[in-house]
Amino acid sequence: MECCRYQLIPALISLIFLCPLAHGWGVDGHLIICKIAQSRLSKSAEEAVEQLLPGYADNDLSSLCSWADRVRFRYRWSAPLHFINTPDVCNYQYDRDCKDENGEKDRCAAGAIHNYTTQLLNYGKSSQSDYNLTEGLLFLSHFMGDIHQPLHVGFASDRGGNDINVRWYTRKQVLHHVWDNNIIETAEQRFYNEDVQELIDAIQHNITTEWADQVKTWEACSETACPDIYASEGIKAACDYAYKGVEEGSVLKGKVAHTVNKVYFYSVCLREFLKLNLTADDYFLSRLPIVNLRLAQGGVRLAATLNRIFG
């Protein structure tokens, strides 16, 4: 029995690490969004973030952007705040969709963004001590990332793609995990020397070139935070790109090496038009631009929100 206990404990520990529950972009997605955001902070927001971060973070917000995922067992109440489910429709309405599985209102990613924004507006006031604003900053930074992951605003019936089995190249995966992790990981391996900083640099470059004209529109918000805009875009991207062409168990199968060129894109369009199975490569290369765009928007909007909060 003693021998079994010694084998059981490491086995359980590795199970926990091998089977992370899907609760957001993977670590790299959140890290990318927070790195982009911190590089765009105003002087006063930069100072507030530095004050609020614990000393061990060494003034690096990105090092704690997945903190909300790590505390989801300690703070069980926080689990529904990582996502939004629609009743299987391609649009989002706060009053209809922002609730938890018990129907409790405001308990979704958009409600959480409003809540932590409101709390952080107490920064520097005498009411500051009523709240834990360090946790507020970490929750806001994380949920701003989650709401930009298209399948975090997904269909209730498949739990944002968590119940859709696919094959990602040679591995079995659920569609939700493909969007949290695999597309980013595969991009890093194939195009960025396995170096997340190279991917961040590429996205930052696009923000100042290809997307420069759109950045003001991304930032626009008539209140302090505008999560409903991001959630509406999210479910649309989920329908148009994440769910599109995907059928339970029958997709992303073979592996075909393509180069990214016009012929490739026409072949993808034709395949989709003819409703043929998408290969993992088809799916990866055609969805990667959406992942890059959502990471950029997440970072730009987190910075814009923190800049509005801290003045």
- Binding residues (CB under 6 A) for ligand ADE: these are 22, 82-83, 85, 151-152, 154, 159-160, 162
Could you tell me the maximum CA-CA distance found in the chain, to the nearest angstrom? Answer: 66
CA-CA distance, 73 to 138, in Å (whole number)? 16
Q: Which stretch binds Zn ion (CB under 5 A): 17-25, 131-139, 217-225, 270-278?
A: 17-25
The backbone torsions φ and ψ at residue 309, rounded to the nearest 5 degrees and listed phi first, read: -65, -45
CA-CA distance, 238 to 244, in Å (whole number)? 8
Task: Please state the closest distance from residue 275 (CB atom) to ligand ADE, in A.
Answer: 25
Report the site for Zn ion in 90-129 (rule: CB under 5 A): none
Residue of this chain nearest to ligand ADE (CB atom): 160
CA-CA distance, 47 to 71, in Å (whole number)? 26
Q: Which is nearer to ligand ADE, 38 or 85 (CB)?
A: 85
Q: Which is nearer to ligand ADE, 29 or 160 (CB)?
A: 160
Task: Please state the closest distance from residue 199 (CB atom) to ligand ADE, in A.
Answer: 23
Confirm or reject binding of residue 161 to Zn ion (CB under 5 A): no
Confirm or reject binding of residue 24 to Zn ion (CB under 5 A): yes
Q: Which is nearer to ligand ADE, 243 or 284 (CB)?
A: 243
Report the site for Zn ion in 178-197 (rule: CB under 5 A): 180
Confirm or reject binding of residue 294 to Zn ion (CB under 5 A): no
User: Strand 165-168 relative to strand 171-174: parallel, antiparallel, unpaired?
Assistant: antiparallel
CA-CA distance, 65 to 30, in Å (whole number)? 6
Beta strands in 80-159, from DSSP E residues, in sequence order: 84-86, 153-155
63 interface partner picked from Zn ion, ligand ADE, none, CB below 5 to 8 A per type: none
162 interface partner picked from Zn ion, ligand ADE, none, CB below 5 to 8 A per type: ligand ADE
What is the 3-state composition of the chain as percent helix, strand, coil, each rounded to the nearest 5?
A: 60, 5, 35
Nearest to 305 by CA among 141, 178, 148: 141
Q: Which is nearer to ligand ADE, 25 or 211 (CB)?
A: 25
- Applying CB under 5 A, which of residues 40, 82, 107, 287 lies at the interface with Zn ion? 82
Cα 218 off chain centre by: 16
